[in-house]
Structure 1
Amino acid sequence: MKSAVGSLKSTSLALFYSDFKEITKAKLAVSVVFSSIAGYFLGAYQIDLWSVLLLAFGGYCMVGASNAYNQVIERDLDALMKRTRNRPIPSGRMTVNMAMTIAIVLTLLGVLALYALSPKTALFGAISIFLYTSVYTPLKTKTPLAVFVGAFPGAIPFMLGWVAATNDFGIEPGTLFMIQFFWQFPHFWALGWMLDDDYKRGGFKMLPTGKKDRSTALQIILYTFWMIVISIMPAFGFTGRLHLTIPAAALVLLCGLVMLLFAFNLYIKKDNPSARKLMLASVTYISLIQIIFVADKLIS
């Protein structure tokens, strides 16, 4: 009997853990934490392990809270889409109250952790949650400009790490912000292209023209180009302490050109497989250049 009760508790905990990961979008949250830590390494004069742990914990909490609020707000729309109908709330595995409790607790823990680093870090984290839940989320069913608004909170993590390391906002974190800001557009428009039919079931307007056409693909190319330009700017001495050596800038440029090729491929073929390749290339790009930036600082 005791064994059966213990087994049931173990199963319940496993299910809750699985749903917790899903409602906080654990994979996305971890990638955001990676960006924040990369920004911290770039800004820090000396690495402090405790600060890195606070940033990782606070960053995960803030992203997790944003995603939980989002799924509470969009629960009825999520039920309409194949991609999201099995999420914890629309599937009935988690109540709205439980999801809100998780979101609120994560918000408080995240703000406290980031505040322990610096007030500015906590402020930018709180701004990110506000923009994502109160502006971006409601706009997704109203206008394609939602992607533009969503690019602001989406671009904060890379910058946030620098601010956490220095308690300062200047040209350096501003440049990191702009890199990830322009990256958001090809990434999310490629995703929006792939999932356009499903998004339309939920009433979401994700593509800039509302269609999978050449105009959308052209805009993807233009934003990818400006992303590349900003990514290599640190090699030319315009960005204060944020600097790239010429070999590192060449690697960043090469990564960007590969992504640009995938964008041109989408423009030519205008199909879902090409959009998927671009989306995967964009994820690879942002991770690789962050590694290159950090490695270049440590080596040079």
Structure 2
Amino acid sequence: MKSAVGSVKNNSLSLIFSEFKEITKAKLAVSVVFSSIAGYFLGAYQLNVASIALLAFGGYCMVGASNAYNQVIERDLDALMKRTKNRPIPSGRMSVKTAIGIAITLTVLGVVALYILSPKTAMFGAISIFLYTSVYTPLKTKTPLSVFVGAFPGAIPFMLGWVAATDDFGIEPGTLFMIQFFWQFPHFWALGWMLHEDYKKGGFKMLPTGKRDAGTAFQIILYTIWMIVISVVPAFGITGRLHLSIPAAILVLLAGLVMLFFALKLYENRDNASARRLMLASVTYISLIQIIYVVDKFIS
């Protein structure tokens, strides 16, 4: 009997944990934490384990809170789309009240954790939640410019790590912000291209022209080029303490050219398969260049 009770408890805990991961979009949150820690490594004069732990915890809380608020706000629209109808709220597995409670709790915990690191870090974290939930989310059904607005909170994590390490905002974290800012356009437009029909069911306007056409594909190419340019700028010695050695800059450039290749293939083919390859290339790109930046700092 005790074994059966223990099994039921374990299953219940497993289900709760599973729902928590879904409402906070755990995979996305972890990738954001990775960006923040990379930024911290770049800015820190010496590494502090407690600070890294606070940044990781606070960062996850802030992203998780944003995603939970987003799913509360979009619950009716999520129910209309194939990719989102099985999320915790539209599927009925989690109540709106519970989701809001999770979001508020994570917001408080996140702000406190980041404030312990520095008030500026907490401020940028709070700004990211506000922009994501109060500006970006409502705009998604109004205008394709929502992607531009959403790129601001989306670009904060890489920069946030530097600010957490230095308690300073200058050209270095500004450059990290711009790298991730421009990266988001080809990434999310590739995703928007793949899911265009599903997004239309929810009334979301995610592509710049509203269509999977040459205009959208061309803009993806332009933003990819800007992303590449910004990513190699630190090699020219004009971004303060943030710099790249020539070998590292070449690796970053090559990674960017690979992504540009897939952007050009999307322009040529204009199909979902090409969009998917570009989306996957973009995910690889942002993680890879962050690793290159960090490794280059410690070996050069």
Partner SS state of residue 144, structure 2:
coil
The equivalent residue for 1:64 is 64
The equivalent residue for 2:127 is 127
The equivalent residue for 2:204 is 204
The equivalent residue for 1:280 is 280
1:112 & 1:183 partners in 2: Cα distance? 29
Partner SS state of residue 204, structure 1:
coil
Whether 1:108 and 2:108 are equivalent positions in the alignment is yes
In the TM superposition, what is the alpha-carbon distance from 1:10 to its structure 2 partner? 1.6
One-letter amino acid of the counterpart of residue 241, structure 1: R
Indicate the larger mover: 23-32 or 7-16: 7-16
1:252-267 map, 5 Å? 252-267=252-267
Aligned length: 300
2:83 & 2:283 partners in 1: Cα distance? 19
Partner SS state of residue 53, structure 2:
helix
The equivalent residue for 1:26 is 26
Indicate the larger mover: 176-185 or 10-19: 10-19
The equivalent residue for 2:152 is 152
Whether 1:176 and 2:164 are equivalent positions in the alignment is no
Partner SS state of residue 273, structure 2:
helix
In the TM superposition, what is the alpha-carbon distance from 1:12 to its structure 2 partner? 1.3
1:103 & 1:77 partners in 2: Cα distance? 19
The equivalent residue for 1:165 is 165
Indicate the larger mover: 5-14 or 43-52: 5-14
Whether 1:189 and 2:189 are equivalent positions in the alignment is yes
Root-mean-square deviation over aligned CA pairs: 0.6
Indicate the larger mover: 53-62 or 1-10: 1-10
2:147 & 2:197 partners in 1: Cα distance? 17
Partner SS state of residue 168, structure 1:
coil
In the TM superposition, what is the alpha-carbon distance from 1:13 to its structure 2 partner? 1.1
Deviations 1:64-110 (A, max 9, x none): 00000000000000000000000000000000000000000000000
2:2 & 2:59 partners in 1: Cα distance? 39
In the TM superposition, what is the alpha-carbon distance from 1:2 to its structure 2 partner? 3.6
Whether 1:79 and 2:79 are equivalent positions in the alignment is yes
2:82 & 2:12 partners in 1: Cα distance? 25
Deviations 1:101-156 (A, max 9, x none): 00000000000000000000000000000000000000000000000000000000
One-letter amino acid of the counterpart of residue 50, structure 2: W
TM-score by length of structure 2 reads 0.99
Q: Percent identity?
A: 83
2:7 & 2:285 partners in 1: Cα distance? 44
Deviations 1:255-277 (A, max 9, x none): 00000000000000000000000
In the TM superposition, what is the alpha-carbon distance from 1:234 to its structure 2 partner? 0.1
1:248 & 1:80 partners in 2: Cα distance? 45
The equivalent residue for 1:242 is 242
The equivalent residue for 1:35 is 35
TM-score by length of structure 1 reads 0.99
In the TM superposition, what is the alpha-carbon distance from 1:9 to its structure 2 partner? 1.9
Deviations 1:235-292 (A, max 9, x none): 0011010000000000000000000000000000000000000000000000000000
1:63 & 1:287 partners in 2: Cα distance? 17
In the TM superposition, what is the alpha-carbon distance from 1:52 to its structure 2 partner? 0.4
1:208 & 1:221 partners in 2: Cα distance? 13
Partner SS state of residue 141, structure 1:
coil
1:249 & 1:4 partners in 2: Cα distance? 58
One-letter amino acid of the counterpart of residue 106, structure 2: L
Whether 1:51 and 2:51 are equivalent positions in the alignment is yes
One-letter amino acid of the counterpart of residue 239, structure 1: T
In the TM superposition, what is the alpha-carbon distance from 1:233 to its structure 2 partner? 0.2
The equivalent residue for 2:9 is 9
